A and B are shown apart, each in its own frame.
Chain A
Amino acid sequence: DAGVIQSPRHEVTEMGQEVTLRCKPISGHNSLFWYRQTMMRGLELLIYFNNNVPIDDSGMPEDRFSAKMPNASFSTLKIQPSEPRDSAVYFCASTITGANTGELFFGEGSRLTVL
């Protein structure tokens, strides 16, 4: 079975450019999470969708960040315009909310470098 699929795995861009990160959750999962990982701040929850609806976006740093989930099999995280401090590894994770296990399944991450 395919796990959570993220693309691109690596992206290098210049300050001011738009960045779009993509995620395909595991089929049948009804919750999707975007996390950001940096050395300074660790793993931070950015936004959480349940049944394609954004439930909590309080972790989104500022208006430059936006996330969408147009259907159960696809989500995007967009940064416009990007800044050097956005450099991080962005992870997407999915799960079945209410399942007995409660574990999150993570993708391999998208490493973003903003020059």
Chain B
Amino acid sequence: SQQGEEDPQALSIQEGENATMNCSYKTSINNLQWYRQNSGRGLVHLILIRSNEREKHSGRLRVTLDTSKKSSSLLITASRAADTASYFCATDAGGSRLTFGEGTQLTVNP
């Protein structure tokens, strides 16, 4: 079964708006990662947050982690049409073996 579950499954917003995606997981983790996948392409790593961190920023990305609730969120600020993609959270319980969620399909309308 999938460790991570993303919410929502699909999100459609206008360019310039912020997009928030959530991820829940079930077991203890070393870190949680977010990946992006453009249609027909491989996954690309966006950001990693360790289990002892609560928030992390990278450019227009902000990730939060709440280990007590076993949840994480990814915020993309000032979205662009080029941000249209699927976004996956992935949990690392050790040894770099990642378990991926089912993903959120983000559509940013110009």
Contact = CB atoms under 8 A, between A and B. Distances in A.
Chains A and B come from one and the same complex = yes
A2 B45 CA distance: 16
A43 B33 contact: no
Contacts of B99: 45
Nearest to B50: A102
Interface residues of B, number: 23
Grouping DSSP codes into helix (H, G, I), strand (E, B) and loop, the A interface class, with mixed when no group exceeds half, is strand
A93 B90 CA distance: 14
A103 B42 contact: no
Interface in B21-80: 30-31, 33, 35, 41-45, 48
Interface of B: 2, 30-31, 33, 35, 41-45, 48, 88, 90, 92, 95-103
Interface of A: 4, 31, 33, 35, 42-43, 45, 48, 50, 55-56, 91, 93, 95, 97, 101-109
